[in-house]
Each structure stands twice: as C-alpha cells, then as structure tokens.
Amino acid sequence: MAAALQVLPCWVRAPLRPLLWGGPVARLASSMALAGQARQLFESAVGAVLPGPMLHRALSLDPDGRQLKVRDRSFQLHQNLYLVGFGKAVLGMAAAAEEILGQHIVQGVISVPKGIRAAMEHAGRQEMLLKPHSRIQVFEGAEHNLPDRDALRAALAIRQLAEGLTADDLLLVLISGGGSALLPAPIPPVTLEEKQMLTKLLAARGATIQELNTIRKALSHLKGGGLAQAAYPAQVVSLILSDVVGDPVEVIASGPTVASTHSVQDCLHILNHYGLRAALPRSVKTVFARADSDPHGPHTCGHVLNVIIGSNVLALAEAQRQAEALGYRAMVLSTAIQGDVKSIAQFYVLLAQVAGARLTPSTAGSLVEEDAKLHELAAELQLPDLQLEEALEALVGARGPVCLLAGGEPTVQLQGSGKGGRNQELALRVGVELGRWPLGSVDVLFLSGGTDGQDGPTEAAGAWVTPDLARQATVEGLDVATFLAHNDSHGFFCRLQGGAHLLHTGLTGTNVMDAHLLFLWPH
C-alpha cells in the first residue's frame, strides 16, 4: 500500500483531476484518493517556489551584458561579480544565477545541505545543478539542519571571499531557509559544539526561530550583518527565499546582510525565559561580556540591497489555484501559523468541527461552544493575517468539497528522545483529536508538510491523517499516547499501515516553511 501512495516528484507529476463525489465506490476509496490529491496539491505549492523561476523573475542582464538588473536597480558589470550563498534552496538558486550571469561570475562559494547534489542528480534535476566547470565552489554540510565542521569550513571560505572584495566589486548573496545552520562561524572562544549545544537546548524548550536567531547572531562572525560588514566596501545584493513568518530579512538565516538591532540584554532575557542563563558555557559569557549593544558595528548597511524573491505566500496561492481548478472552495487562512504544536493542532480540530457544521445546513449553528473556543484560541495564537471569520462565512454558501490552506512554522517542545518533526507531530495530534469528536456528515483529511521535503531529522516531509487514525492505530496495536510522549511521530507513522500516511518527496531544492491543508467534504 505504501508503494502505491508514493508521491510523484512535483516536476513529473500528472495533471490534477477532480474527484467524483458521491456514490458507494467513490466513498469507499475517498480517503486514499483524497490523500493522493492532497499530496499533489502540496507539490504544486512547492513547485511554485522552485529556485529557477524565482531567480529569472528577479535577475536580468541588459542586452549588451554590461548591467545587472535586480528588480528596479542596475549594477555595472566589469569582471567584478562574486557570488556566495547558503541554504536548502541555494544549489538551485546558484545554478539559475549561473545560467543567467554566465562568465560574469568571477568566483563563488556556496554552502548547501549534505547529499543534495546526489539527490538532485538521482532525481534527474539538471536545472538544480551547476555546470561541470563552474566557477562556484560547493560545500555540503549541516546534516539534518545542524551546523557541523563541513558547514564551518564553508562559512570560513565565504568569509574569506567577502573580506577580499574592494569598492569596485559586487557581491551577489543567495539566501534561503537552513542558511543559519550552513553558515556557522562562532566568535572565539565559543566553539561550534558549544553554540550547537545552546541552540539545541533552546529549541528543545520551544524557543521560536526569532529567539534562536537572536542568540545565533550575537555569537557569530557572519550573522546579524556580519557578512555585509566583511564585504564592505563592495556593493552587496541579497536575493532571499523566505522561510520565516512575515518575511523579516533580519531573521531569515539570522540576517547575515542586515545589521542586527538586538543587544546582549535581549539575549540574556531569552536565556532567562528558558532557564538557561546559569548553564551558559564560560566562552559564551565571555563573548557577551565584551560585546556592546551592537557587536557588528554600524546600525545601517547602506551598501546592501536585500530582496525577497519567494515565500510561503506564493506557495499557498498556487495550491489554492490548483484546488479551485479541481472544484474545491479553497481559501488561505493564514501564512503566519506559529505557536506550540499542541495549540495549533487544537485550532485545526476545532476549525474542522465548526467548518463542518457550517457546511451542512442541518447542523449549522449547532456547535456554539466549539465556535466560541475556536475564536478564543485564534485570539490567543495572535496570527497577524488570520482570515478565520471570512473563511467560515464563505462556507455557509459552499456546495461540495472545501480546502482550507495555511502555512507557517509551529514549534515543538521536546519531552522524549523519539524521532519526528513538527509536521508529523502536528498531523498525529490532529488525527488523534479528530477521532474524539463527532464530525457529523462531513469527512475530513489533514496534511502537514515541510516544503523543503525534510521534516526534522527524518526522510519524510510530513504526513496526512483522517479521523480514523486512532481506530487504525488500535487495530495495529499502536499506543498513540506513548509515541506522542516520546515525540516519536515518525516512528508511529512508519508503523501505521506500513508508512502509507507519510509524505515522501525527497529534498525539493526549496524551502518556504510548512504547508497545512485541511479538506472537508460533505456527504
């Protein structure tokens, strides 16, 4: 069964086709059929933010090849163009830049995830690969998105290139999610291992990506504007694929080309909040003690142009378009989902209950208590762009299936030593809770996946679930509560129906956070 449900990579997938709703045969196969369709919609979201198309939209050469145009800015080219990059999408971004700029690139260094070149070659993704005699040197490292010695060597090579530039030079910087782990250059005497340990401790206690990056920047040579400072007085153009809610350039990959606005006091406040200040290594205390409120020098980076070229917004818009083409009433709820995974799971379960009731005239308005809880939880989560009321109102007049889409990056507070990721844990929690409540005459399916194709330290991008999950687990002798207590969502899904509920895409070559798809269809 698992093999039959394997996802075709988005670059070879077949055209999407609408499901036929109603009838005993269609009903019998509806969950599996919808799961395949959900996977394809997820892949369409990923396909919208692949590096090649985004670079071609952002960069161009004038006809005589003497000027580089970046959006509405122009830069003179005369054997002065250098390139660096770091992130999960940067191999494909560099390949696209090389295709556009050709021999104008004098030298380049990029830091990309371990194994990504082999994965792209195996998948036949030639457009994601550099030319055989490329002037861009490739370092692979940061396995499972954790900084390591290979990533450190890459960071030192990038720093050396940047520090050798002059006022006549132009540095093109390619940045995507995962860039922070791929650009580790701790300030001595802090070691890579000490910085990694502190990051792990913060992540395990539920620190947000913004909090993690604030600490990383304070302990790094290149983050928090450090790379821009190293490249000064050269001009710097950063093309950024966002993997952070709201697309703040100072947070993505810890803002290597954006001057940091955080102080040591901000760092200490975060460490106090998570009870880690007393456990700081002596080296970290040393760096904090000698740093002033702005350890990276000037508060402005006037020689830098930062441009966001892709984000979760684009990915979800494409999935919405594809869903509508299939006959769904499709709406994007939010592109800024964040908060503890338990609260996010509760939000989606309440949403499924309330939305399902509004889809069926006989039960519309019957879930007053659940409706109130949903709005109360939405207020607590403080999602800045949430379109909850608009979506619920639209459902009243909807006929047929509905697809509610959202994106973002929930956090998981680790309590066990199991294997998993935020997408698989979110899906598992949603599946368990859906089975505990009556959903009336509406069938539900939920899918959560990471657009980079790797959810935590696993080979899966995420998972999909239905309200039948708990029953299926019981039949197979799987205790869901035990798996959740150990944060072992991947272990659970590997065993449930032979892994049929896992979303496998392989490394996608891009990264714009996660996509959540909630399907409801009345019967």
- Fold assignment, 312-522: glycerate kinase, domain 1 (3.40.1480)
Give the DSSP H or E segment for 150.
helix 149-163
Q: Looking at the predicted structure, is the pLDDT value of residue 14 above 90? A: no
Q: Which amino acid is at 316?
A: L
Rg, C-alpha atoms of the chain: 24
| Location of structure tokens 């104008």 | 104
Instruction: Compute the distance between CA of residue 508 and CA of residue 16 in angstroms, rounded to an integer.
Output: 19
Q: Looking at the predicted structure, is the pLDDT value of residue 7 above 60? A: no
Residue 388, SS3 per DSSP: helix
pLDDT of residue 415: 87
How is 327-342 classified by DSSP, letter by letter? Answer: T-EEEEEEEEE-SBHH
Q: Looking at the predicted structure, is the pLDDT value of residue 186 above 50? A: yes
Report pLDDT digits (tens) over 258-292: 998 888 999 999 999 999 999 899 999 999 998 85
Instruction: Compute the distance between CA of residue 295 and CA of residue 219 in angstroms, rounded to an integer.
Output: 9
Instruction: Compute the distance between CA of residue 522 and CA of residue 443 in angstroms, rounded to an integer.
Output: 6
Report the 10 Å Cβ neighbour count for 451. Answer: 28
Instruction: Compute the distance between CA of residue 295 and CA of residue 285 in angstroms, rounded to an integer.
Output: 14
387's tokens: 């379109």
Superfamily of domain 51-310: Glycerate kinase, MOFRL-like N-terminal domain (3.40.50.10180)
Report how many helices (DSSP H) and strands (DSSP E) the chain contains, helices first: 19, 15
Q: Which amino acid is at 452?
A: D
Residue 319, SS3 per DSSP: helix
Assess whether the previous peptide bond of 132 is cis (omega < 30° from 0).
Answer: no
48's tokens: 């919208």
Question: Taking Cα atoms as reference points, which of 22, 42, 15, 14 lies closest to residue 401?
Answer: 22
Residue 441, SS3 per DSSP: coil
Report pLDDT digits (tens) over 91-145: 999 999 999 999 999 999 999 999 999 999 998 999 999 999 999 999 999 988 8
Question: Taking Cα atoms as reference points, which of 444, 515, 490 lies closest to residue 35?
Answer: 444
Report pLDDT digits (tens) over 306-362: 999 999 999 999 999 999 999 999 999 999 999 999 999 999 999 999 998 888 876
User: Residue 88, Cα to own-chain centre: how many angstroms?
Assistant: 10
Q: Looking at the predicted structure, is the pLDDT value of residue 297 above 80? A: no
Largest CA distance in the chain: 72
Q: Which amino acid is at 453?
A: G
Contact 468, 435 (CB under 8 A): yes
279's tokens: 């456990």
| Location of structure tokens 């992130």 | 87
Report pLDDT digits (tens) over 47-65: 999 999 899 999 999 988 8
Report the 10 Å Cβ neighbour count for 122. Answer: 11
Query: Can you give the residue ranges of every domain in the chain?
Result: 51-310, 312-522
Contact 398, 359 (CB under 8 A): yes
pLDDT of residue 5: 31
416's tokens: 């066990």
Residue 446, SS3 per DSSP: strand
pLDDT of residue 2: 33
Neighbouring residues of 294: CB distance < 8 A, sequence distance ≥ 6: 259, 260, 263
Q: What are the two backbone dihedrals, phi and then psi, of residue 330, each rounded to the nearest 5 degrees?
A: -115, 135
pLDDT of residue 144: 81
Report pLDDT digits (tens) over 17-57: 445 444 433 443 568 888 999 999 999 999 999 999 899 99
How is 222-249 classified by DSSP, letter by letter? Answer: STTTHHHHHHTTSEEEEEEE--STT--T
Give the DSSP H or E segment for 291.
none
292 class by beta-carbon count within 10 Å (0-12 exposed, 13-18 middle, 19+ buried):
exposed
Does the global pTM surpass 0.95?
no
State the average pLDDT for the chain.
Answer: 89
57 class by beta-carbon count within 10 Å (0-12 exposed, 13-18 middle, 19+ buried):
exposed
Contact 341, 456 (CB under 8 A): no
Q: Which amino acid is at 328?
A: Y
Q: Looking at the predicted structure, is the pLDDT value of residue 452 above 80? A: yes
